[in-house]
Structure formats: structure tokens, C-alpha cells
């Protein structure tokens, strides 16, 4: 026991209580970050990123509150809100006459485990009157390590609805080649950690090149996240990456 421990647990308790109320209090909102095609420079989609602005704590980073929301069992409800809000925004853009842009929503492993995910997606699409091709779900490798059969079944159901699936943070988790072959996903999203030194670290460059080739050989699209510099962009363009996302082009 120490005073510091006490302070930490009080802080966490405070955060927990506030997070439980955040949805009701309308403290969540979404920011969108564009995904740019390297074929023609057009914006082909946006990723919806969840933000929490607490009255007392101010802005809390997703990496701080999303794991907590998962732990508290709140991510299902929050995730459903994200899905509906993002779908509504996409529909709104379409009504404004903007060219069709797919909106990507991050889905956590917890949401995958709940039976309601497919239902939530169906609900979001019908609420927003959004056509399913305009919705993409970003899943991570941790979504698929447990209960693989159930996950594959869910992904097939989602594909049946017409939404597309991307594998986020690719290269950092536990994907096997067998898994990639089994999973009907559309896009591999190369993790930021490989991109940051791609122009100056030979190992990272080799890994990125391998992922791009792997994706294309499996008939999948490939996108790089966290692109911050012209050098990185140049490398990715030269090696046939399909899309980029990052601060170089636009912050969320």
C-alpha cells in the first residue's frame, strides 16, 4: 500500500464513473481521417475515430479510455453508437453530393464476441439508409485469435450484408498465412510502426514490401497508416501500395 497507489485507484475509479455516463451525457464525437488512393490521388474513404471530451477531464485519448470501456463491458454500446453515427455521417455526405466515400469503423475484439455485432451493423445501415458498400469494418488480429470459427461465421454474415472488412494494424499480431487464406477480408492495413522508418530501415522496408506483395497475391487491397513524410509516401508509391492514410495528407 502507498499513497500513490491510492491516488491511482481513485483516479481510475473517477475515470470509470465518468466513462459510464459519457454516452448519456453526449460526450462522444467522431473525427474522420481521409484515406487517399495512390492511383489518382482521390479520397476513397475516411476512418471514423472516436473522441471523448469529458467536462472535467477534458479530452481523453482513445488509447486510455477504449481499453477501459472494453474492460467495463461498455464497448458494445459505445461501438453501436459509433457505427450508427458514422453511417449517418456517410449518408449525409452522399446527400450533400460528395463523391461516394467509404466510412471505416474500428471494431474491438469484445464486439466480435458479442452476438449483436451483425445486428448492430444491420441497424446502423438501415437507420442511416446507407448502402452497405459504403461501410468498412476495421478489425484487428486480436479479434480473430479466440473462437476462430465464430469469428469466421460473423465475417461471412457481415460480407453477406455487403460491408467490407479490413485488417487493422497488420503485422503486429498473430495472423498466420492459414488464417489470411480463411478470412474473407478485403484490405490489409499495414501498421504504423513499420511505416515510420520505411525509408531508412532496410528491415522495415522489406517487411512493408512483403506485406504489399502478400496482399496483392491474395487479391486484397493494401493501405499504409501513419504516413507522415514525403519519403515514406514515395517508398509506398514506388512499391505499389494502393492507399495511404496519415498526417502528411491530413490529420483526423
Residues that bind ligand C2E (CB under 6 A): 33, 49-50, 61-63, 66, 79, 82, 106-108, 138, 168-169, 225-228, 246-247, 252
Cβ atoms of 32 and 103 within 8 Å: the answer is yes
Residue 166 interacts with, from Mg ion, ligand C2E, none (CB under 5-8 Å by kind) = none
Residue 66 interacts with, from Mg ion, ligand C2E, none (CB under 5-8 Å by kind) = ligand C2E
**Binder to Mg ion among 84, 106, 243, 245 (CB under 5 A)?**
106
Strands 243-244 and 221-224: parallel
**CA 163 to CA 159: how far, in whole Å?**
5
Cβ atoms of 128 and 84 within 8 Å: the answer is yes
Cβ-based nearer residue to Mg ion, 120 or 168: 168
Cβ-based nearer residue to ligand C2E, 143 or 183: 143
**CA 252 to CA 249: how far, in whole Å?**
10
Cβ-based nearer residue to ligand C2E, 6 or 29: 29
**What minimum distance in Å lies between the beta carbon of 86 and ligand C2E?**
8
Cβ atoms of 159 and 187 within 8 Å: the answer is no
Cβ atoms of 243 and 31 within 8 Å: the answer is no
**Binder to Mg ion among 138, 141, 227, 244 (CB under 5 A)?**
138
Among the listed ranges 7-15, 37-45, 101-109, 193-201, the one in contact with Mg ion (CB under 5 A) is 101-109
Question: How many residues sit close enough to Mg ion to count as binding (CB under 5 A)?
Answer: 5
Cα 58 to its chain centre, rounded Å, is: 23
* H helix or E strand, kind and range, residue 32: strand 28-37
Q: Which residues bind Mg ion (CB under 5 A)?
A: 106, 138, 168-169, 225
Amino acid at each position: 500500500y502507498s499513497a500513490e497507489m491510492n491516488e491511482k485507484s481513485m483516479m481510475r475509479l473517477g475515470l470509470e464513473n465518468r466513462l459510464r455516463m459519457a454516452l448519456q451525457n453526449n460526450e462522444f464525437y467522431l473525427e474522420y481521417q481521409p484515406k487517399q488512393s495512390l492511383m489518382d490521388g482521390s479520397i476513397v474513404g475516411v476512418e471514423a475515430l472516436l473522441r471523448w471530451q469529458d467536462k472535467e477531464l477534458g479530452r481523453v485519448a482513445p488509447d486510455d479510455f477504449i481499453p477501459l470501456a472494453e474492460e467495463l463491458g461498455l464497448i458494445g454500446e459505445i461501438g453501436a453508437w459509433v457505427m450508427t453515427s458514422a453511417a449517418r455521417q456517410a449518408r449525409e455526405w452522399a446527400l450533400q453530393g460528395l463523391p461516394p466515400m467509404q466510412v471505416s469503423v474500428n471494431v474491438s475484439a469484445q464486439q466480435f464476441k458479442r452476438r449483436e455485432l451483425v445486428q448492430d451493423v444491420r441497424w446502423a445501415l438501415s437507420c442511416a439508409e446507407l448502402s452497405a458498400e459504403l461501410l468498412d469494418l476495421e478489425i484487428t488480429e486480436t479479434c480473430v485469435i479466440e473462437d476462430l470459427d465464430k469469428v469466421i461465421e460473423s465475417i461471412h454474415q457481415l460480407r453477406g450484408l455487403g460491408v467490407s472488412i479490413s485488417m487493422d494494424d497488420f503485422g503486429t499480431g498473430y495472423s498466420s498465412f492459414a488464417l489470411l487464406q480463411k478470412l474473407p477480408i478485403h484490405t490489409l492495413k499495414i501498421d504504423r510502426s513499420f511505416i515510420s522508418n520505411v525509408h531508412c530501415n532496410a528491415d522495415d522496408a522489406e517487411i512493408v514490401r512483403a506485406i504489399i506483395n502478400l496482399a496483392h497475391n491474395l487479391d486484397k487491397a493494401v493501405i499504409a497508416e501513419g504516413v507522415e513524410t514525403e519519403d515514406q509516401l514515395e517508398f509506398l508509391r514506388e512499391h505499389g501500395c494502393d492507399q495511404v492514410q496519415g498526417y502528411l495528407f491530413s490529420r483526423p
